[in-house]
Amino acid sequence: MYETRVLSGMRPTGALHLGHFHGVLKNWIRLQAEYPCLFFVADWHALTTDYEKPGDLQKVGADMVIDWLAAGVDPSQATLFVQSQVPEHAELQLLLSMMTPLGWLERVPTYRDQQQKLADKDLTTYGFLGYPLLQAADILIYRARYVPVGEDQVPHLEFAREVARRFNHLYGREPGFEDKAKAAVKRMGTKKARLLNELRTKFLEQGDAAALARGQALLDEQQNLSRGDGERLYGWLEGTGKKILVEPEALLTEASKMPGLDGQKMSKSYGNTISLREEPEVVARKVRTMPTDPARVKRTDPGNPEKCPVWELHKVYSNQERKDWVWNGCTTAGIGCLECKQPVIDAINLELAPMRGRAQPYLDDPTLVKNIIADGCEKAKRLAAETMRDARESMGLNYA
């Protein structure tokens, strides 16, 4: 009943680059084959910091989806959608805002950090303070189990878990919960009911996590549970009320080690990127003009790869044999820097070639992307509607 869904969002900020590919998208592509995945354009999130100059969010968002598709995100496996086109996210954020203590938001570390880092923007806004709650709504509305994010987002995940827990605690305690839960257990049949009771006792009295997992697996197998009974039983098993919202877990994405053209991490703000749709000549020019070990002034000066950003790219793109070739050639002045750079240029262009190919049909016919996004939004809306029905009802908003 609670599918193992994966959800992640990305702000539309312009052309994606190799850092996004190696840091995020490769991971999404792996996950889409394993789980039902939802990936969305976080356009409202972009407005929390860039409200003064929003730009054409529709266009930038659609372009970002083309980059996802180019990289290999597959719309027949994953659901791709745009946050603002599923306004239920905002409704859930509103409902959650009623019970979210202000202090929880003020204590999210990114709140003050980002205000300081982005000092050129006035971020003393309601929207910016509430941004982790919007993110929590993004996740909770799909009852997502796993959320692939970078280290910087872990506090937001922890916050979302606390919000879900508080919500279930406040609104999962319907009148007659125990009786309803027991009746639902009975309907599973004597044998399974007894087993579930034993597992619950083991978990509640001895904290036996394996027993809890077995209990959950038992419930997962139940084909004929109604949604309401499912929420009751999963909650009852854990000794709480109805489990209306599911606590998500962070799937920590290893920080991108993708080096940029200057040896710093690749990032738009450092201006050291190669975008996923870069033309081959531009890739060649960008790599050829990269700085190298400053000690190699003349071709005959030996160099030290550890002091050269090109070496960092070889670490990503070259096998051991070629790395040996670089290391020996550089330290003995056996090869020149342009010679050393050529295999990197070739490797990057080889990596980008299929992406260019996959992007082309979408660039030729923008309705293709529009349709993919429209389909994704429709599917997302359907999932969101289920959670919203339960969330509204549990808060007394039962206007059938």
Note the residues at the interface with ligand TRP (CB under 6 A).
Answer: 7-9, 11, 42, 45, 135, 138-139, 147, 149, 153
Which amino acid, one-letter code, is at 349? Answer: N
Q: x/- binding map, residues 294-333, to ligand SF4, per CB under 6 A?
A: --x------x-x--x-xx--------------x---x---
Which amino acid, one-letter code, is at 8? Answer: S
**CA 45 remoteness from chain centre:** 13
Pick the closest to residue 39 from 49, 50, 28, 27 (CA basis): 28
Provide the β-strand partners of residue 259. Answer: 265
Query: Residue 310 binds which entry of ligand TRP, ligand SF4, none, with Cβ cut-offs from 5 to 8 Å by kind?
Result: ligand SF4
Q: Are 84 and 11 in contact (CB under 8 A)?
A: no
Query: Residue 139 binds which entry of ligand SF4, ligand TRP, none, with Cβ cut-offs from 5 to 8 Å by kind?
Result: ligand TRP
- Tokens at 371, concatenated: 């349709």
Backbone CA torsion sign across 220, 221, 223, 225: negative
Query: Residue 340 binds which entry of ligand SF4, ligand TRP, none, with Cβ cut-offs from 5 to 8 Å by kind?
Result: ligand SF4
Where do we find the tokens 């982005």? 118
- 140 belongs to the binding site for ligand SF4 (CB under 6 A): no
- Tokens at 225, concatenated: 């549970």
- Tokens at 115, concatenated: 């205000």
Residue 35 backbone phi and psi in degrees, to 5 = -135, 160
Quick one: 107 or 315, whose CB is closer to ligand TRP? Answer: 107
Least CB distance to ligand TRP at residue 51 (A): 15
Quick one: 60 or 139, whose CB is closer to ligand TRP? Answer: 139
User: What own/partner pairs with CB < 8 Å and gap ≥ 24 does 115-120 have?
Assistant: 118/49
Residue 332 backbone phi and psi in degrees, to 5 = -110, 5
Least CB distance to ligand TRP at residue 144 (A): 8
Least CB distance to ligand SF4 at residue 342 (A): 10
Pick the closest to residue 260 from 326, 322, 295, 312 (CA basis): 312
Query: Residue 9 binds which entry of ligand SF4, ligand TRP, none, with Cβ cut-offs from 5 to 8 Å by kind?
Result: ligand TRP
Quick one: 135 or 394, whose CB is closer to ligand TRP? Answer: 135
- 340 belongs to the binding site for ligand SF4 (CB under 6 A): yes
Cβ neighbourhood burial of 106 (10 Å; 0-12, 13-18, 19+): exposed
Q: Are 159 and 108 in contact (CB under 8 A)?
A: yes
How much is the CA Rg of the chain, to the nearest whole Å?
Answer: 25
Q: Are 70 and 276 in contact (CB under 8 A)?
A: yes
Query: Residue 70 binds which entry of ligand SF4, ligand TRP, none, with Cβ cut-offs from 5 to 8 Å by kind?
Result: none
Using the rule CB under 6 A, give the single segment among 35-43, 107-115, 125-133, 288-296 that binds ligand SF4: 288-296
Quick one: 197 or 304, whose CB is closer to ligand SF4? Answer: 304
Quick one: 272 or 292, whose CB is closer to ligand SF4? Answer: 292
Quick one: 160 or 313, whose CB is closer to ligand TRP? Answer: 160
Query: Residue 135 binds which entry of ligand SF4, ligand TRP, none, with Cβ cut-offs from 5 to 8 Å by kind?
Result: ligand TRP
How far are the Cα atoms of 32, 68, 296, 313 from residue 362, in angstroms, in the given order? Answer: 21, 11, 44, 30
Q: State the residue number with the nearest CB to ligand TRP.
A: 9
Least CB distance to ligand SF4 at residue 264 (A): 16
Query: Residue 42 binds which entry of ligand TRP, ligand SF4, none, with Cβ cut-offs from 5 to 8 Å by kind?
Result: ligand TRP
Angle at 325 between CA 323 and CA 326, to 5 degrees: 65
- 292 belongs to the binding site for ligand SF4 (CB under 6 A): yes
Least CB distance to ligand SF4 at residue 326 (A): 5
Query: Residue 293 binds which entry of ligand TRP, ligand SF4, none, with Cβ cut-offs from 5 to 8 Å by kind?
Result: ligand SF4
Least CB distance to ligand SF4 at residue 348 (A): 15
- Tokens at 296, concatenated: 């190699």
Q: How far apart are CA 50 and CA 46, in angstroms?
A: 6
Residues that bind ligand SF4 (CB under 6 A): 292-293, 296, 303, 305, 308, 310-311, 326, 330, 335, 337, 340-341
